[in-house]
C-alpha cells in the first residue's frame, strides 16, 4: 500500500472533511484570522474534498434558476461585511458589480453563485486538497489517557492503495447531503435523481434519442424546476408531474417567517425544549420543505393553460397520486400510479422517471467510525451538539468534532441551508480559539 503519514510535529489545529460551502466559509474565517494574527496564534488548517474540484449541486445548475436566499447571505458578509471574500467583491473583480445592481434583485442566478463559490475556493487552494476521500477517523490517546487528536486517513478515489494520514486536534465535518430515494429504487439510464439532471439531459439531447414521455416525482422546488427544465429541453415530449399534494405549495418567504433563518433564531431554537423545537419545525416547514417559489408555480400553470387552449397538452399533472410500482422493460418503464382518493391504479409507460425526492444528511457514524463512539447521544440516538457546533463527548476527550449540516435537531432549519453559513463559521473559529487559549492557560498553570 502506498501510504503517506504526516510528520508527528505537523499536527493540524483543524482538518476539514468536505470542502463545500460550509467548510469553505470556515476556511475563509481561518484565513482572515491568520492574516491578522501573530505567527504563534495562527491556526494550521487543511480541508479534504473527495471531488476532483469544487462543486456544489452541479446537476441542478439550470441556466435560469435563481438562488432562494439573498446574496448578502454569502460566505462572509454576515460574519464580516468588510471581507474581500464577499459576493460583491467577486462581482467587482468580474466586472459585473454595476450590472448586478442595475438588475435590482437580491437573488442571483444559481449558476453565478456557483461561480462565486469557485472563485473563493480557488483563492484558498493552498488550504484544500481535492481527490481526497476520507475513509477513516481514528482517535489518538496520549500517555495520560486523554484523546487529544484524530488520525484522518484519506485516499484518492479509484486508487485505494494511495492513502495519506494526517493528525489533527479538531475536525470539522461538512460532507453535505446525499440524494434521498424511495425504498428499493435503483438508479439507471432511465431512472434518475434530479441531482444529475443537467448533465443527463445534455447527454440525452446530444444523442438525438427520441423521448416520448417523462415522469417527475416530487412536489418541491427541485421537482417543479425539473418539470420546467425538461419541458423546455424536450419540446416534443410529454412531461408528467406526480405528487401526493393537490397542487404545488407556495414557499413562505414573508419577512416574519424568514426570521426563522436569523442567527438569533438559532439561539432560541437551541435553548428550547424538544417539544418546542418540533413545533417550530412543523410551523415553518413551508419556508423550505416541499414548497415552490410562487413565480415558478404561476409560470407552470400559465404553460398548462396555454397548452390546453392550443389543444396540445405536453405538461400534465398527476396530483393526489403516488407511484406504487416501477417495471423496467427493454424499451421503456411501466410505472403504476395510484390516484389516492379512489385507490384506482393506472400503468403509465414512459421513457424516463426523475426522482425529485430531496436529500438527507450523510451517515456520520459510518464516516467517523470509532471516533463516533466518543460522541454523546440524546434519547433518540442523535448526536448531542453544543451551541458552538462541537459534538459533546466524555471528559477525557479534548479533541474536537465540529459538525456542520447535520444538526437540524439541535440548531434548527438553517442547519443544511446557506442562511447562517458565514455566522456559523465565525462561531466555530471563536470556539477553536477559545479552547486553545484555555488549554494553553491550563498547561501553564500545571507547570507553575
Query: What's residue 1's pLDDT?
Result: 44
CATH number at residue 225: 3.50.50.60
Q: How many other C-beta atoms lie within 10 A of the C-beta of residue 130?
A: 18
| pTM for the predicted model, two decimal places | 0.94
Tell me: do 191 and 336 sit in the same domain: yes
Cα separation, 123 vs 361, in Å, equals 28
Q: Are both 234 and 349 inside the same structural domain?
A: yes
Residue-wise pLDDT for 357-375, tens only, equals 999 989 999 999 999 999 9
How many domains is the chain built from?
Answer: 3
Containing domain of residue 370, as a range? 2-176+362-447
User: How many whole angstroms separate alpha carbon 95 and alpha carbon 36?
Assistant: 28
How do residues 1-25 score in pLDDT, each as one tens digit? 455 555 445 899 999 999 999 999 9
Q: Are 321 and 244 in contact (CB under 8 A)?
A: yes
Q: Which residue has the cell 447527454?
A: 203
Q: In what order do the strands lie in the sheet with 128-129?
A: 128-129, 45-48, 14-17, 170-173, 400-403
Are 136 and 70 part of one and the same domain? yes
138-171 pLDDT, tens digit per residue, is 999 999 999 999 999 999 998 878 899 999 999 9
Q: Which of residues 327, 355, 383 is at a domain's end? A: 355
Q: How far is CA 255 from CA 76, 175, 281, 373, 421, in A?
A: 22, 30, 17, 41, 20
Same domain, 388 and 319: no
| Statement to judge: residues 326 and 420 lie in one domain | no
- Ranges of the chain with pLDDT below 50: 1, 7-8
Q: Is residue 60 located within the same domain as residue 206?
A: no
Residue 343's CB is within 10 A of a number of other CB atoms, namely 7
Do 34 and 68 touch, CB atoms closer than 8 A?
no
Nearest to 128 by CA among 117, 112, 139, 140: 117
Grid coordinates representing 203 are 447527454
b/e per residue, 77-111, with b = 16+ CB within 10 A?
Answer: bbbbeebebbbbbbbeeeeeeeebeeeeeeebbbb
Q: Are 220 and 280 found together in one domain?
A: no
Amino acid at each position: 500500500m502506498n501510504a503517506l503519514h504526516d510528520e508527528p510535529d505537523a499536527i493540524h489545529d483543524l482538518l476539514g472533511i468536505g470542502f463545500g460551502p460550509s467548510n469553505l466559509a470556515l476556511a475563509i474565517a481561518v484565513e482572515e484570522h491568520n492574516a491578522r494574527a501573530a505567527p504563534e496564534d495562527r491556526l494550521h488548517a487543511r480541508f479534504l474534498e473527495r471531488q476532483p474540484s469544487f462543486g456544489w449541486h452541479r446537476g441542478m445548475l439550470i441556466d435560469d434558476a435563481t438562488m432562494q436566499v439573498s446574496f448578502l447571505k454569502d460566505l462572509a458578509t454576515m460574519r464580516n461585511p468588510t471581507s474581500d471574500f464577499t459576493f460583491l467583491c467577486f462581482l467587482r473583480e468580474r466586472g459585473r458589480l454595476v450590472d448586478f445592481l442595475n438588475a435590482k434583485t437580491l437573488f442571483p442566478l444559481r449558476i453565478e453563485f456557483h461561480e462565486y463559490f469557485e472563485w473563493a475556493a480557488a483563492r484558498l487552494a493552498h488550504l484544500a486538497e481535492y481527490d481526497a476521500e476520507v475513509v477513516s477517523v481514528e482517535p489518538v490517546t496520549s500517555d495520560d489517557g486523554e484523546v487529544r487528536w484524530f488520525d484522518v486517513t484519506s485516499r484518492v478515489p479509484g486508487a485505494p492503495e494511495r492513502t495519506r494520514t494526517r493528525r489533527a486536534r479538531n475536525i470539522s465535518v461538512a460532507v453535505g447531503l446525499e440524494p434521498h430515494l424511495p425504498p428499493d429504487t435503483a438508479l439507471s439510464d432511465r431512472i434518475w435523481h434530479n441531482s444529475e439532471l443537467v448533465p443527463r439531459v445534455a447527454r440525452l439531447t446530444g444523442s438525438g434519442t427520441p423521448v416520448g414521455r417523462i415522469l417527475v416525482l416530487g412536489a418541491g422546488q427541485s421537482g417543479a424546476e425539473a418539470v420546467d427544465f425538461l419541458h423546455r429541453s424536450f419540446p416534443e415530449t410529454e412531461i408528467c408531474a406526480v405528487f401526493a399534494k393537490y397542487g404545488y405549495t407556495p414557499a413562505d418567504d414573508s419577512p416574519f417567517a424568514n426570521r426563522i433563518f436569523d442567527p438569533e433564531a438559532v439561539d432560541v431554537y437551541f435553548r428550547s425544549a424538544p417539544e418546542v423545537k418540533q413545533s417550530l419545525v412543523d410551523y415553518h416547514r413551508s419556508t423550505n420543505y416541499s414548497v415552490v417559489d410562487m413565480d415558478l408555480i404561476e409560470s407552470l400553470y400559465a404553460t398548462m393553460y396555454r397548452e390546453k387552449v392550443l389543444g396540445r397538452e405536453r405538461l400534465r399533472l398527476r396530483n393526489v397520486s403516488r407511484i406504487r410500482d416501477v417495471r423496467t422493460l427493454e424499451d421503456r418503464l411501466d410505472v403504476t400510479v395510484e390516484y389516492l382518493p379512489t385507490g384506482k391504479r393506472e400503468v403509465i409507460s414512459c421513457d424516463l422517471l426523475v426522482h425529485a425526492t430531496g436529500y438527507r444528511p450523510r451517515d456520520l457514524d459510518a464516516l467517523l467510525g470509532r471516533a463516533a463512539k466518543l460522541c454523546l447521544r440524546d434519547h433518540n440516538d442523535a448526536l448531542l451538539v453544543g451551541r458552538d457546533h462541537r459534538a459533546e463527548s466524555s471528559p477525557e476527550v479534548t479533541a474536537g468534532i465540529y459538525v456542520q449540516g447535520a444538526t437540524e435537531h439541535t440548531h434548527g432549519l438553517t442547519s443544511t441551508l446557506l442562511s447562517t453559513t458565514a455566522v456559523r463559521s465565525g462561531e466555530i473559529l471563536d470556539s477553536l480559539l477559545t479552547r486553545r487559549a484555555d488549554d494553553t492557560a491550563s498547561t501553564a498553570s500545571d507547570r507553575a
